[in-house]
Structure 1
Amino acid sequence: MTITTVLTDIEGTTSAIAFVKETLFPFAEQALDGFLEARRGDAEVAAILAEVPGADPAATLRGWMADDVKATPLKTLQGMIWEAGFRDGRLRGHLWPDVAPCLRAWHAAGLRLAVYSSGSVAAQKLLFGHSEAGDLLPLFSGFFDTKVGHKREASSYAAIAAALGTNPASILFLSDVAEELDAAAASGLGTCQLVRPADAAVPSGRHREAPDFPAVAALCGLPATP
């Protein structure tokens, strides 16, 4: 079936793993206590903290950060903390140089673009809206995070296809993680594993493999950049 939609991961796919681990995560960790103090009376923050177990939510959050737990309350708070950094210019969303030209070419050719990441939708929009390549938000038709389900569960991809109103077979999912691609394939999506040398990605042998987005285009029959 012809590909009509490209669904992409972020970390290790459009952006360096190091950006998330060495820039975004430390930024959120250092700002956590001050953020919670400043937003103590905020109903939205209180509702998020109510989902965090333990007598000391801040301690639980720091533990989740240390263990890189993909917990929705943590990801939501991280997104809110990062928002301030992106909006005041302290943060810029990293993209590999090949990504934005391909996204623009695919969008111009009529393909729908969407994002599925363990980072919150708010964080996704900040990264692409304040990226090193400018504001890319107008290129995308949808953003999905762990609220739709976890990335290694096939049902998550079925839910995304339903939300987009698209036949799963017409969606191409891009990720560097083989287990995520396995789950997507189990729901009928096409897949391609990004194996970027700079991120020391390990090929799985179970999916099409590409070192960058132009190679994805060549392998999967997508429009090439001008």
Structure 2
Amino acid sequence: MPIKAILTDIEGTTSAVSFVFDVLFPYAARHLPDFVLNHADEPLVREQLQAVRVESGEADADLVRVIEILLGWIVEDRKATPLKALQGMIWAEGYQAGQLKGHVYPDAVEALKRWKEEGYGLYVYSSGSIQAQQLIFGCSEAGDLTPLFSGYFDTSSGPKREADSYRRIAESIGLAADEILFLSDIVQELDAAQQAGMQTCGLARDGGDLPGHAVVASFAVIDLAGF
């Protein structure tokens, strides 16, 4: 079945892992305590803080304790939906203030633009919140790339290493799974997408192997006609 859409991961795929770990995460950790204390009464923030209490099993945690839990989750790189949502809000302030610029590899920018022009649907699936995804591409070093994408998916669609998540995404996109090519640098994610029926291509920018999948070192050499 010919490819009609591309679903791409961000971290390690379109963007450097170092940008997330060396820039975004430390920025969120530095600003999280003040952000929570200053915005705790706002409905969207309050909702996420309550979700932290539920997920942590600490229903009576006060704000100071919730902040401690969140900072611990950042250290663990825990894929917790309320943490991702709050990080996205903090990063939004940073992008809007010009303190952050999203990193996207030039080869990814060029390929995504070309695929869009050729009529392929482009979608993002990342463990970062949809807001965080839109910020990386919307405030990128290459300018606003959000017009390239038709949709975004995060952990609200399910864990990235479970096949059902990709089945839900294919259904949401409105295509058969085998008409979608999933790009990632993580073999367990590629395995899950493959189990759901999607076609897959691994990004190994520093070399290496992703067993069971086609592997490239750059978007520039991905040949969609070969899938």
TM-score normalised by the chain length of structure 1? 0.94
Deviation at 1:30, TM superposition (A): 0.1
User: Residue 127 of structure 2 aligns to which amino acid in structure 1?
Assistant: S
The runs of at least 4 aligned residues of structure 1 exceeding 3 Å deviation read none
Task: Give the aligned partner of residue 27 of structure 2.
Answer: 27
Gaps of 5+ in 1: none
Deviation at 1:204, TM superposition (A): 2.1
Task: Give the aligned partner of residue 78 of structure 1.
Answer: 87
Alignment of 1:62-211 (within 5 A): 62-197=71-206, 202-211=208-217
Identity of aligned residues (%): 48
Instruction: Name the CA distance, whole Å, in 1 between partners of 2:7 and 2:129.
Output: 15
Instruction: Name the CA distance, whole Å, in 2 between partners of 1:114 and 1:87.
Output: 24
Alignment of 1:41-60 (within 5 A): 41-52=41-52, 53=56, 54=58, 55=61, 56-60=65-69
- CA distances 1:7-33 after superposition (whole Å, capped 9, x unpaired): 000000000000000000000000001
Task: Give the aligned partner of residue 37 of structure 2.
Answer: 37
- Give the one of 201, 221, 226 matched to 2:225: 221
Instruction: Name the CA distance, whole Å, in 2 between partners of 1:189 and 1:60.
Output: 36
Instruction: Name the CA distance, whole Å, in 2 between partners of 1:95 and 1:111.
Output: 19
User: Residue 111 of structure 2 aligns to which amino acid in structure 1?
Assistant: C
Instruction: Name the CA distance, whole Å, in 2 between partners of 1:203 and 1:42.
Output: 46
User: Residue 171 of structure 2 aligns to which amino acid in structure 1?
Assistant: A
Task: Give the aligned partner of residue 6 of structure 1.
Answer: 6
Deviation at 1:81, TM superposition (A): 0.3
Instruction: Name the CA distance, whole Å, in 2 between partners of 1:21 and 1:207.
Output: 26
Instruction: Name the CA distance, whole Å, in 2 between partners of 1:103 and 1:141.
Output: 12
Deviation at 1:41, TM superposition (A): 1.4
User: Residue 10 of structure 2 aligns to which amino acid in structure 1?
Assistant: I
Instruction: Name the CA distance, whole Å, in 2 between partners of 1:202 and 1:156.
Output: 26
Gaps of 5+ in 2: none
CA RMSD of aligned residues (A): 1.0
Instruction: Name the CA distance, whole Å, in 2 between partners of 1:127 and 1:204.
Output: 26
User: Residue 148 of structure 2 aligns to which amino acid in structure 1?
Assistant: L
Deviation at 1:215, TM superposition (A): 1.3
Instruction: Name the CA distance, whole Å, in 2 between partners of 1:155 and 1:80.
Output: 28
User: Residue 212 of structure 1 aligns to which amino acid in structure 2?
Assistant: S
Deviation at 1:118, TM superposition (A): 0.1
Deviation at 1:205, TM superposition (A): 2.3
Deviation at 1:40, TM superposition (A): 2.2
Deviation at 1:158, TM superposition (A): 0.3
Instruction: Name the CA distance, whole Å, in 2 between partners of 1:94 and 1:174.
Output: 17
Further displaced range: 116-125 or 42-51: 42-51
TM-score normalised by the chain length of structure 2? 0.93
Aligned length, in residue pairs? 217
User: Residue 102 of structure 1 aligns to which amino acid in structure 2?
Assistant: A
